[in-house]
Structure 1
Amino acid sequence: MSKQLKIASWNINSVRARTGIVERLIVEEQPDILCLQETKAVDGVFPADLFRRHGYKHMALNGQRMHHGVAILSRVPVREPGRHDWQDNGEARHIGVRLECGIRIENVYVPAGGDIPDRQQNRKFGQKLDFIERMTRWSDGLRDPTIVLGDFNVAPLECDVWSHKALLNVVSHTPVEVEALDRLQQAHDWIDIGRRFIPAPERCFTWWSYRSPDWTRNDRGRRLDHMWASPELAGSLTAHRVLKPCRSWERPSDHVPLICELEV
């Protein structure tokens, strides 16, 4: 007998600074699995008790002090936790687990890439492209049914940004990044769950800069956060939502949560 599984993904931009809105999300949405990026906390100070109180007894953490960090909190059993260092520099940007049904969940925080979209002038941009290339080689050999999700820091489609023309040379929407992400997607025929349920050209932003005095007024967002599924999971996917109102919660992250549901 199949059951519905609800998975949430959120770049929280410091889990300890935003425990209030994390708890609000849990109470309002009740996800079975919550994947966080940019937790900014080593494993020893991660607020595990908060999640245990809400039934998340299974945790896979990959933390780092003041920077990066990813976590998977689950109410259903998980096993085989694993980490990939796709940036090849020791930064905490990936954690993965296997569910009892055999599906793997891979939680990823792709580097932002700095401000200059040139590998020679900007080392961080080159590291971002190398990260995506290593993910591509991993995807090419992937045999398990998998959901890869998180902050990819790339808005691939023209309708994934508030202005394609204005952002064409801005890191996150440059042609070289979009082409790299496209190669990653093709390497495993990944299903873009967001665009499966919210087809282009509908606007579907997941990030709005803190620099805007009123993010709601100009709505200058980007779709940087993604959920992708292996092609064999296509028939299992039942829903996907972007929780845009969370951007107005108290002390918000600049990203909002994504939620997908599937039958397992």
Structure 2
Amino acid sequence: MTILSINLNKIALIRNSRDTTIPDVLDHARQCIAAGAGGITVHPRPDQRHIRADDCRELKAGIDVELNIEGNPFAPPRSSDRAGVSDYPGFMALVEEVRPAQATLVPDGDAQLTSDHGFDLEVDGERLQPVIEQLKAWGCRVSLFMDPLPEAMAMARDAGADRIELYTERYARAHAAGDYLQALTDYQAAARAAAKVGLGVNAGHDLNLSNLPDFDIPECLEVSIGHAFTVDALQYGIERAIQLYLQALEGR
């Protein structure tokens, strides 16, 4: 069965809107796990707008499922300008310290509200190779955030990745518009191409209770869901929202 990994960025965003420690990220992670989530995902950014470096450290020590840390591997250290908030040490330094089960590499920057494209490995493949080698030496499984391009999957393997994460916004937009079959076909082709060259397949971005049951990707090992889950948890509560997402995965 596909693992449900809950992204806690929006929980941290709510906390950071005030000078407070609530909602508590670790406590919410534990609630999600108790309800059936098989993994926890966080995407700390250098400006620490939501998940902070200290959250990653606390999650590593405080949960008993896989921790997936996402981010740009080329993000440098940055000093914090908020009282009581530790500096951002840089993505690679943070991963070296925390040693998550999985590191998902994403080509994002501060100017992006959220992740909005996958890697172009014709441009970045060569410089990613030593990064991926180092992450694997630290014991991390490495996943690359990728658009659904079948021809790029062999390049992801050649760069050293263990998995790819399909960036699913195009599918989600097509599903919301009521005409998603062509988009789904493209994602299925990319997943098959990844599996053919020995890569595991993850998926994430704008997947929700409406479109997840139709996301027919047999190769998919893990989905990462954050924004939509947070919205649904406000409506249904954490335990019921997790149950609904697990049911949606089972219905695929």
Fold shared per TM-score above 0.5: no
Instruction: Classify the TM-score, shorter chain.
Output: 0.3 to 0.5
Higher helix share goes to which structure? Answer: 2
